[in-house]
Amino acid sequence: MTEQAPRLLVVDDDHMNREVMRRYLRSLGYTQIVMAENGKQAMDLLAEQDFDIVLLDVTMPIMNGQQVLAEMKSSPQYKHIPVVMISALDESERIAACIEVGADDYITKPFDHTILRARVSACLDRKRLRDREEENRRELELAYRRLEEAYKDLEIAKNKLELMSRQDGLTGIANRSYFDITLEREWKICARNQEIFSLIMFDIDCFKQFNDTYGHLAGDECLRKVAQTAAQLVQRPRDIVARYGGEEFAVILPDTPCDGALIVAERLRQSVVALAIPHCKSSVVDPPVVTISLGVASQLADHQQSPSALVAIADKALYSAKREGRNRVKVSNS
């Protein structure tokens, strides 16, 4: 891409000095030259236009060169514009003060054309280099921001995938895979701490008949309501309600004795009855609503045993509850 011609601002209260400077700068190939006759006019032009270098006379009325320089170097908008001071030979102290404030270079009047060319060229080269560095810095910052946004998007996607991997798509509670992982993890923790581990298995009574009577959409809604009711009831940090399969659910209750698990199970049973979801084809005629049967098993966790054995015991208790008329809690400790 072709670089734009540099824009130069020449500030001098003497008309002849400005014209001499303009003609010589044009002979060097600089075509974008703007003139100001005092410091105030220079500051107004700086506010309106972009410049690549300012050639600034030290001694001027209204606002002298040292004041303009001080204002420029204190402004984030102008401080990076190189400034070449123009002075008489006897103004060395004022030039020194300007250099301390931040002037990039200086020339004396009457100026030497060779020195003027070299100093203007050097200042513009430094300005171009700084501008490129600034552009590279902005591009790098933009690249970092985009990278951060990409990482955030990736983290969001990862979290969604992780949630999907452990969440049952229909009910929103834990799925079977996450149940298996949690069961193993919590069993080991309880075994290490010598804690009682309790498990509840439950399913919806006569669910096939419910589906046949009310349709699968109603069946899905029934599963969701039962699952969310259980999830709201079981809220300790380590407790997990999961969909075990079909209409069967499981509740992991680490560090919970059998009597505590029985209380939870009975509350679950009552809460599902309280949903009052009609089920006219249920074998549980009183009440004629959706009910659940529950099996409870409790055991001192042991590293030498597998928690799958406890699942089998709770499942056995569940089927015992179903055989005995449904809508009830049965417990087994062996």
Distance CA 215, CA 290 (A): 14
Distance CA 321, CA 297 (A): 13
Around Cβ 273, how many Cβ atoms within 10 Å?
16
Decide if domain 176-332 falls under CATH 3.30.70.270.
Answer: yes
Around Cβ 230, how many Cβ atoms within 10 Å?
25
What does the pLDDT read at residue 118? 93
List the single range of 13-22, 83-92, 138-147, 281-290 with lowest mean pLDDT.
83-92
What does the pLDDT read at residue 155? 84
Give the residue, 149 or 157, on which the prediction is more confident.
149
What does the pLDDT read at residue 334? 55
> pLDDT grade, residue 170 (50/70/90)?
very high
> pLDDT grade, residue 1 (50/70/90)?
very low
pLDDT tens-place string over residues 194-232: 999 999 999 999 999 999 999 999 999 999 999 999 999
> pLDDT grade, residue 89 (50/70/90)?
low
pLDDT tens-place string over residues 25-80: 999 999 999 999 999 999 999 999 999 999 999 988 889 999 999 999 999 999 99
Ranges of each domain in the chain:
7-137, 176-332
What does the pLDDT read at residue 333? 56
Tokens found for residue 147: 């990278």
What does the pLDDT read at residue 221? 97
What does the pLDDT read at residue 220? 96
Q: Of the CATH numbers 3.40.50.2300, 2.70.98.10, 3.40.50.2000, 3.40.1010.20, which one belongs to the domain with range 7-137? A: 3.40.50.2300
